[in-house]
Structure 1
């Protein structure tokens, strides 16, 4: 089920342009129904105006800044978006649990039934977003299933540990060992061990980048490609030479100025005395925030990392990090493709079936996988 005409997909696929940002060539995806610069995609805007978010609080604000432990259930319930299954073929779903990381981690996998006799399928191990403290495998399930169909692949969806109950390095270890488990059991899963990709959105993108670094450093598991969707690669209060964040990097109309500015909070560098409650729940020690497995942009070298696809939203504060990381990877000789989706905001893949851009990104990821 789609809430848009398929001509929107055609426009996203055929009417791209190339822009340059800080020496990086960015593939700019159009807003299918909005050509004016500085405006949100109309479908994105309508979803906001309808107040249609999952877990919506009905306009009620919690009383004066309660501690995170009080806010946590509210925040978790408010994450995600009710999306749609766009598959046109039968997708098999399997579930298992792994414990090699010391935690019990749920591992879902999806694959087209028609391809189950193929013993050398592509694979993608995906980590959902949610600021390290929330999110759900269920929010990204339809996204993962569509990639499984489009790429004729096995897609794994990792139900990793969340902070603050399980802080760093729990989530990282859960995801790293999930990938290692898939790699070590490639034959049993019917996948090609030379064509295993990792991916994630937001905090999940952070995990995907960190897992790729750790795998490179340890020499295993072998990762063929990383897919980083509006990833956090620099903790909000961590400074990095050469990295700059400014509202001036974003073009927005006077009419939508106040609306758009609300979406630029993520990625905005915090003042020294301020804290990012999500990041601080995951990593409380300053020295850990400087570790490249927490802030992948701080790695001494990005040499030897796998082929990379990055995707950012025009009106997402993390877009600056996304495109800066693309620059770091390109300078290290990593084959890198970077997309920017005009008019979109953070977490747009959660709206699969509502906005054409989420489906388009599935197509781009599948196409990139098929080149491996």
Structure 2
């Protein structure tokens, strides 16, 4: 599928990808800001089981106000009938953010669905590995996850799709290395296993939804995670959103984002 025209226009004009598309407005719901285990959180909705949600941002950016956090949470309350806890985890350096996520999930009184986008997908997987065997996490959602210092080799069709895109829409090896060194606070040559959990042993993890974006250098990480989870005996659902860039859930009202939200909602109910 061709790249969504919204992206084509915004890449040309410089309009922020986080701006809503057209007259889109996020659903309203009860929203409460608080802390859990000393970690800032924002709770959305009051009924249903709990989905703990982690925004992206490469461990150097992102917060509870960004669409990938706030809009996604509101949409999942409306679409899935769940209560969403969005976590304002500490950014770099490792392991502060992971410690925050583990603390929040451990403090809740029932098992949760745990999910996130990009760097948040990394933290969701690492937290589930940390808590494996505790029954604290009943399901995982990994949306275009950032799981490797160097993403697995791309097939030729992905290479061809990505080649025309500008640097701002790419995750080049140089950019990946710089992100890793910022996150780790040191050389990325030998990262701790939970910092980049894409090569961990996945046996014993709960059922998992892995979402990829068609125009994303990190798609190889999502596909690799799906293969490795399945090989480890984990029940896996994989979904590829066509026509979108990495971070599509951060563009409110984008048709591909709304389709992906439906997929997450069905999985999380």
Q: 1:211 to 1:289 in 2, by over 3 A?
A: farther
Unaligned runs of 5+ in 2: none
The change in CA–CA distance for 1:289 and 1:146 in structure 2 (over 3 A counts) is farther
Contact 1:302 1:332 (8 Å CA) reproduced: yes
Q: CA deviation at 1:225?
A: 0.8
Any unmatched runs of 5+ in structure 1? 1-36, 55-80, 187-192, 237-242
- TM-score normalised to structure 1 length: 0.66
Indicate conservation of the 8 Å contact 1:197/1:226, yes or no: yes
Partner of 1:47: 10
1:86 aligns with 2:26: yes
How many Å separate the matches in 2 of 1:335 and 1:309? 9
- C-alpha distance after superposition, 1:79-106 (max 9, x if no partner): xx1335332xx510111123x4xxx421
**In structure 1, C-alpha distance between the alignment counterparts of 2:223 and 2:71, rounded to whole Å:** 27
Aligned mates of 1:251, 1:133 — CA distance in 2 = 26
SS in 2 for 1:258: coil
Partner of 1:97: 35
Give 1:248's aligned residue. Answer: 156
**1:5 corresponds to which residue?**
none
Distance 1:123-1:213 versus aligned 2 partners, 3 A rule = same
* Rg larger in structure: 1
Partner of 1:201: 117
1:232–1:318 CA contact under 8 A, matched in 2:
yes
Q: Distance in 2 between matches of 1:278 and 1:181?
A: 30
Pick from 110, 124, 127: which aligns with 2:44?
110
Residue 220 of structure 1: CA displacement?
Answer: 2.9
Partner Cα separation in structure 2 for residue 169 and residue 197 of structure 1: 21
The match for 1:171 is 97
Q: Secondary structure of the residue that 1:317 maps to in structure 2?
A: coil
Tell me, in whole angstroms, the C-alpha distance in 2 between the residues paired with 1:346 and 1:287. 23
Relative to structure 1, the CA distance from residue 260 to residue 334 in structure 2 (aligned partners, 3 Å threshold; closer, same or farther) is farther
Number of residues of Structure 1 aligned to a counterpart in Structure 2: 264
Q: How far did 1:295 drift?
A: 1.6
The correspondence for 1:359, drawn from 239, 251, 258, is 258
- 1:307-351 per-residue CA deviation (whole Å, 9 max, x = no partner) reads 111111111110001101100000011111111122211111011
